């Protein structure tokens, strides 16, 4: 999933001795797309050694990386995800070393191949149905909106919400305004499934007809609109007809607009 336009060469980060020895001799490149889940590095060009990816973060991000590690290990039994090679937690930092996932992101393919957009959107919907078909009785993680609202409130109170990164519809809003607008949409009728949690076009990798997902730190039982809303919103860049087709191919003929808007606003706070 390497793309030079999405990466900047960099020096190795400081890390525990055991990990440093394992990664000696690699060249480093830092991913420039997305930062909410910590810094992501591609390690490459070491003779006779495979390419690897390293995620690193401090404080609350370290907790998120630990969450992702346990979810990756669990999800590998159900859908294609990176394999955990090494995980280290020290004081307020965490390092997660993973295998690469072949292919390009769904966003890259939709952007580069307009003639394939309909087929790709159909495949995205099918892949999401596969994730949502995982039995909830098998899933040990919760991501339902009540749980996430508690975490969102904590982030607002701590001043951790990036208000400059809100979607265009909420440009100029404060985090408190987003919070109040969400409250006006409650309660929501529950429709729980196993969700990815951040089902964006950059978190889906496509290699031929094979799909995989990355950035699974929010995976858990939640309303299906947690995933539907994020994917639907990402597809807006490619036009309303593709957004509608995605929902229809997934199986939603009459979308719940309250749930769509609620989950998009909830995502703003993370």
Active site residues: 198
The full length of the chain comes to 270
Question: Do 167 and 264 form a contact (C-beta atoms < 8 A)?
Answer: yes
Distance CA 75, CA 83 (A): 10
Q: Phi and psi for 201 in degrees, rounded to 5? A: -65, -25
Question: Do 167 and 237 form a contact (C-beta atoms < 8 A)?
Answer: no
In sign, the C-alpha dihedral spanning 153, 156, 161, 164 is positive
């Amino acid at each position: 999933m390497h793309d030079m336009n999405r990466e900047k060469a960099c020096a190795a980060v400081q890390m525990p001795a055991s990990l440093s020895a394992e990664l000696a001799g690699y060249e480093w490149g830092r991913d420039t797309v997305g930062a909410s889940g910590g810094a992501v590095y591609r390690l490459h060009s070491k003779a006779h050694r495979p390419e690897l990816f390293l995620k690193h973060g401090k404080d609350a991000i370290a907790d998120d990386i630990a969450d992702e590690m346990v979810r990756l290990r669990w999800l590998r039994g159900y859908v294609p995800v990176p394999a955990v090679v090494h995980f280290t937690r020290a004081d307020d930092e965490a390092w997660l070393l993973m295998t690469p996932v072949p292919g390009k992101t769904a966003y890259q393919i939709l952007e580069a191949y307009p003639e394939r957009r309909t087929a790709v959107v159909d495949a995205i919907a099918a892949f999401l149905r596969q994730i949502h078909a995982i039995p909830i009785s098998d899933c040990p993680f919760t991501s339902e909106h009540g749980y996430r609202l508690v975490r969102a409130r904590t982030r607002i109170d701590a001043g951790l919400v990036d208000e400059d990164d809100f979607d265009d519809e909420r440009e100029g809003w404060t985090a408190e305004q987003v919070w109040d607008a969400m409250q006006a949409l409650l309660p929501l009728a529950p429709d729980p499934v196993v969700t990815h949690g951040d089902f964006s076009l950059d978190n889906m990798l496509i290699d031929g007809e094979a799909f995989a997902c990355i950035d699974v730190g929010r995976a858990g039982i939640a309303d299906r609109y947690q995933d539907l809303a994020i994917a639907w919103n990402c597809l807006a860049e490619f036009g309303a007809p593709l957004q509608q087709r995605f929902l229809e191919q997934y199986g939603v003929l009459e979308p719940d607009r309250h749930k769509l808007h609620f989950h998009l606003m909830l995502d703003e706070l993370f």
